[in-house]
Structure 1
Amino acid sequence: MTVKMDFEECLKDSPRFRADIEVVQSDVIELETRLEKLVKQCQAMLDAGRVYCQTSKSFVSGLRELGHPRSGDKTMEECLEKFSKKLTIILDAQGEVIETTQKAVKMKLQNFVKEDVRRFKDVRKEFERSSETLEGALARNAQAPRGKQHEVDEASNGLLNARKAFRSEALDYVLEINVIEAKKKTDILMAMLSMMEAQAQFFQHGHQSLSELDEYRRKLAEEHTQFVLNAAREKRDMEQKHAAIKKKDVSYDDSIMDFNADAANGIAMEGYLYKRASNAFKTWSRRWFSIQKNQLVYQKKFKDQPTVVVEDLRLCTVKPSSENERRFCFEVVSPSKCCLLQADSERQQQAWISAVQNSIASAFQERREDPHSPRQRCSSVSVGSLGGGGVDQQNEGCKALEEIQAIAGNRQCCDCGEAGPDWASINLGITLCIVCSGIHRSLGVHFSKVRSLTLDSWEPELIKLMCELGNTVINRIYEARIDEITIKKPHPSSPRGDKESWIKSKYVEKKFIQKLPETGRNPPLRRSSGRRNRATIQEQNIQRPPLKPKPNRATLPRVTGLNPSDLLQKNNTSFHKDVDEEQEDLSGLHPGALLYRSAALQNFPVMADALAHGADVNWVNVAEESSTPLIQAVSANALAACEFLLQNGANVNQADSSGRGPLHHATILGHTGLVCLFLKRGADYNAKDKNDKDPVTIALDNANADIVTLLRIAKMNKEMREMDGAFGQSGDDTYHDIFRDFSQMASNNPEKLNRRSADPKS
């Protein structure tokens, strides 16, 4: 222990001793003031710390609630759960630091002030009292007269007792000074050491807890970067869509009405309708109607139990109602009651009537079918339009199903591998199970157009398109890098969430396609010759040719080297022979130009690959009279290639620099099957080129009777539809018969059309 004052010095009671006493007293008073202030500050810190911990725990509780499993975002749930757990651990450790500070710092310092400093003050008072007594005894002893012995003795005894008492108190005071000096060092240092140790343990514990999340934080940072990129891309796409939609007429209020008998949720049709009450007041109420489980039901709120309007759709009929003063009304009549409903528009009225009719037909069809044999549901027409030729059309539908499933890989779902898929994506050319088809439908038609192989109608050109691609070909494009990425492909029993995540990564984000740029892989490509070479194509590695620096569009060479007028002087057989023998290196083309070239070569895998890499389906080659991939496919008389481009968003009316669209070129070249296809896909038969000639005039100039007939019938059919109104016939039956015949010939017997085009008199 350090001795601040000497005991011998205190016995002398010298001026030096008195000076040291004053210094010590001043130091103790200052120490007491500072310690009291520090204790108050420590208490304030502890109170604030407890409030902080309590508030932080409330914040962590909020994080846990934000990451509740019902949020549906697994990444968010996992992130918030992990972080909240670590924060809870850190806050618990901080609570321990607060308690340690309470015990080791505040209590010790407070005890030092209350006990040691108070005891020092008490001893100092006794010392000062004995010092004053000694001063008085000394004064009396000095004043005692020499002649008065009893006073001298009394003064001497008083002085002796006073000096004895003073020296005892002085020794006690010096001892207390030395003790408090020593305790000041030990207690304060021990308190600070305990606090530093607690803080060190707290920060080490917190660092260790957060260090366990290092790998997860790096992974989350990468995902966040991807989320930012995706969000920016989606924002750009949404802004473009928003701008495009704002340019259109948005004054109407017609909802999109889709009937889907095989919807995954069992709801074939749903939407708002007004319903007239059966009471005496005949009031109208707006309710949410739906067709599900062969019943027509409605509800006011989502949580309400649906009210059944029609128990069994097979026992009812539907018809428009014109007797009511309200517009857009129709009746659903059953043996027990009649329900009067009102739609918001004429289009919605027609859609609901068709939906109820289709549901009635579907209910009867399911009744006739064997529930253990879903394949018996094959039909090539919509379930509300069965007519006299229904049996033949059903047979054609079954044949189409068998033909499409015969393509390599098509007997299993393209995305999860489930056997016997009876759904298809017509723009991708793949077959799907019912679960994956529902996910594809949710992506939107700009990504995937879903159709049933058993219930929907299938035109010959669609069947031909499906047979040109297939699951094996498309998976070699969209899953080209699957071995390089540690993402497991779902299987038939995988949860729907896993399948949905996989499909979005595959077709929307395109994570597994071959990235650009690439190195040389493929030799120069030749035109694929349809079904004859399909097996060869599927055995090849369907990957893009090597890419070189992007060429200037103005320098792109022509594929065929022939103008449309020159093609009239060549017969169709020699033209295909020239294209088959022609070979062109496509390795240096960017996606748009690659789609342009492969469309002329009818190489479907390369066309699909170009679209997967972002090719603009309406890409314009300014060096070739602003020709498009669709016009290139017309030049090659590639029916399936044209259908493929149209299903992927090609503009059927986009004209070249001469003002000629695909219909003009098909008419000039005498491709009757393509003319039929374009008319069915909405081509404008009145459009004129720069020579002021429309397709009819061109067909008359070329003496092509078949094309003239198709154009005139299409025009007559449109006029009949406009004249008959919304509930009239959809056109002349002759129109449907002739177009169906031409579609069949163009897809299955194109040589008949070639002969007839070459010799109009035959």
Structure 2
Amino acid sequence: MEINIDEIYEGSPSFQLKLETLQESQKVLKKYITGVVKTATQFIKAAEHLSDIGDKFVNCIFGYRDLIRGELTTQIERKLGEQIMSLGKIIQETNNNRRTSFEQIKILLIDPMNDFVNGDMKDAKLAGKKYEKMTSDLQSSQLRYLGTSIGKKNEQKNEQVCYENEENHLLQRLQLVTKLHAVREKNKFEFVQRMLAVLYSQLSYYHQSYDTLNDFQSEIQDGTVILEKIKGKYNSLKTKETEQIKTLKKRVVHSRKTKSKDKKKLTKTGYLFRKTGGMVKDWVKNFFVIKNSQLYYIKSHKDMEKRGKMSLLLSSVKNSTDLKRRNCFEVFNPTSGKLILQSTNPEETRSWIEVINNNIEKLLNSQQTEKHSKDSIAWNEKTLKTIYDIPGCKKCVDCGCENPDWCSINLGISFCIDCSGAHRSLGIQISKVRSLTLDQLSQDVLELFKSAGNEKINDILESNLNPQLKNLIKPNENDSVEIKSKYIQRKYSKREFIDEKFKKNKEDLNKMLLKAVIASDFNEAHLSLILGANPNWQDSENNNISAAHAVINSDPLILELLIQFDVNVCLLDSFFKMPIHYAIDNSNLILLKKLLSYKKKIYISSPNPKFLNAYQYAKKLKKTQVIQIMKKMIPKKIIKKLINQKHIKQTDEKSITKENNNDENNEDNEDNNGNNENNNENNKDISKDNNNNNNNDSNDSKYIDNDIGDGFEIITIDKNEKEKEKEKEKEKEKENKNKNENND
């Protein structure tokens, strides 16, 4: 089992598996050699059991031949195996004629094999232990170095120690493999050579066995030639070791000083540190692989299962700036979630990001060439015409490339495929990327585009860009993806090019958004969101209302804008009302439908007994049209749950009021008479809530989500709130008892 230099350098799990196999084979080899030596010693000491011990000795030889049979791959080595078989047979024949040669056996066989075991094999074993220790030291130094905050005094020292340990670890790995190979190759001739020497001694001691041994003499001569050739292979291995050490040293230095060419590369392997989840956050070193447009990792050579598989289609990757650790990057996938990884140097980080982006671009390009249905093509052509008619949208908003076919549905801008990767890496909280040719944009999104567009957005985000330097700073369509990505990061994430008049603190932006929504000012609302306003901020000075509450009396297009920025439509204000309650108050059927279809969440319980869920609230106000819409859009089983809503202090599930029972019976009768449209409305695929709750939310609006199917989720109060309510009730009961006792 040969291990080449590339495997040694990479140190992959497959290499570790081969290394462990070599080490295990050495253990077994030592066992057999020790058996041979032991039986030979017994052969000397126990002459009376000579024949029996001799048979064991021969069996050990045959066992040894079976052991190395798989390693004898060449014709010369197979002849060596045949000689071992013949050797055993001759010893078996001459076993009873060797009583006077016991001392010679010790000198010619036992001592050299002991030297081999205690010398070469022991050295290989010690090298293995040293390699294990250096592996542990390397990982510790890497963790210590990577965990050192940037700018600390001991940063350079830890870095130097880390790099020295890496180089020493690599050299020790090579030495270990070399020693194991040396033991294996030397073993092929050492044992046979000693046995041949014993046979030479037998010729002089046992004349009566001369004929038998004489027949084997030609084979002995052939074996000598074979041994010389195998010895030559062993000697060349030692020469190659020196050359490989020099090559590896140059390779280590070269890999740290030069940039790898990953512009077109689609595959990559290597060790990365992975941030684990759970209660205790930790960093674990795993072997990661990018292959067939998938990212996965392997725990170790003992567990080769492909774990954490993540399709790179619709994924995004970016440098992580939120962590204080160096060389970190994030990979996000809507299905698999977020993966935070760390490499050992900046060049490796850049290389991983480059390869991931190459795969994403390839997948998107391949999908773009697929055939679409006639209806889809017609729709997309209409969409493109609508977008291109908006001022500035016929060219990429960032590099000016003609006919862009990608867009951001929350920013209302269009861009080319090169810039789409950079926008995807910004994260959906900044830019929601969609394809103008692969995705079908809703009419509401198109209306949002008409109110935004490339020119308007650039007037904001490039408002402070010096016209004289604009051509030098802003990329053009011929610039590399890397240049475009850096510019897009500066423009959208860091907002480096906006005018001073747009720069506001977070609280002012939040108030600006709320004020704009109340005034139905789309442009001002969009501006505040682009600049970083929180769509879920609640005004504690104004009854805890949020933008979603205020939009009820505003333009429906502003609600679409808030939706594209992931607004939470389930926040409660100081009156225990959600936005849907105000839509019911105003009989705003358009916004009611949009709210029901957007998140499909129903707030079913509250610690306040005055709270009514949306359906109960509509029943109380006798909003007939609202009730009909809700019955069409909400499944029947959920309507029943809404009718039977109980508050936190009503712990007995059987204590449902007669009024609720009557309502349920009435609703059953109404549903049986018609309304079979429910199923058609309820099978729409609605995206799940991102749960972007603001820290300013009151305690009354805390909740947990329970998926009950049909795309709907019932939102209930948090357990801690329930326990608080129970404690308050117990305290009131105690106070009442004390009052009664005092009155008595």
Fold agreement, TM-score > 0.5: no
Q: Whose radius of gyration is greater, 1 or 2?
A: 1
TM-score range, shorter chain: 0.3 to 0.5
